[in-house]
């Protein structure tokens, strides 16, 4: 059986097999999740997510999650993606940006991003660039498909309106 999973706010979605770890599903779909996560250990909040729906389809909180997360976090469906298995078939919606606000300044400056990217090993740089390219191509493809469909809908509406106008003229006579 399979699990349909959607990552918000990106809207990326797909289907994965039961037994897949949440962090692996995210990486397969190109979702940036768990940067700096020591995968499997669960001793850091780098891969913290919020489960919006389908929490009952997931594994129980692991010992590492119980240690790393507060009772309030668990009550709000916050989980560590490196610890969560998709155990049952169904649909799961995950908010990928569930990180708690840090006491420092936000990490959104271009200089910080360039520095962080520059410090990555070549393999991770290439993987990141391929993921970004895949996302860009997907969005471009979606846009290319939507434009002709929108044009077709407008054309059909115009034809329908002309037909209705002609029918009114004929009915009026």
**Cβ atoms of 55 and 88 closer than 8 Å:** no
Could you tell me if 38 and 44 are in contact, meaning their C-beta atoms sit under 8 angstroms apart? yes
DSSP-based three-state secondary structure for 167: helix
pLDDT tens, N- to C-terminus, the chain (173 residues): 788 999 888 888 889 889 888 888 888 888 877 776 766 666 677 788 999 999 999 999 988 888 888 888 888 899 998 889 999 999 999 988 755 544 344 445 667 777 777 888 888 888 888 888 888 887 777 777 766 666 677 788 888 888 888 888 888 87
Residue with tokens 């070549």: 122
The CATH architecture of the domain made up of 2-100 is: Roll (3.10)
What whole-number distance in Å separates Cα of residue 62 and Cα of residue 34?
17
For position 102, what pLDDT does the model report? 43
**Is 8 in contact with 93 (CB distance < 8 Å)?**
yes
Predicted confidence at residue 114, as pLDDT, reads 76
113 contact partners, CB below 8 Å, separation of at least 6:
107
Cross-strand pairs, 2: 17
Helices (H), the chain: 22-28, 63-68, 71-75, 110-118, 122-172
């Amino acid at each position: 059986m399979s699990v349909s999973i959607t990552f918000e706010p990106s809207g990326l979605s797909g289907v994965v097999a039961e037994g897949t770890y949440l962090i692996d599903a995210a990486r397969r779909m190109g979702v940036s999740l768990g940067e700096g996560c020591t995968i499997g250990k669960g001793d850091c909040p780098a891969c913290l997510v919020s489960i919006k729906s389908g929490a009952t389809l997931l594994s129980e909180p692991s010992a590492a999650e119980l240690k790393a997360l507060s009772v309030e976090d668990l009550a709000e469906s916050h989980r560590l993606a490196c610890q969560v298995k998709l155990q049952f078939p169904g649909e799961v919606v995950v908010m990928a940006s569930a990180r708690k606000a840090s006491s420092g300044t936000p990490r959104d400056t271009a200089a910080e991003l360039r520095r962080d990217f520059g410090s990555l090993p070549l393999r991770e740089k290439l993987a990141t660039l391929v993921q970004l390219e895949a996302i860009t191509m997907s969005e471009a493809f979606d846009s290319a498909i939507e434009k002709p469909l929108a044009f077709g809908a407008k054309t059909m509406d115009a034809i329908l309106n002309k037909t209705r106008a002609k029918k009114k003229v004929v009915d009026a006579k």
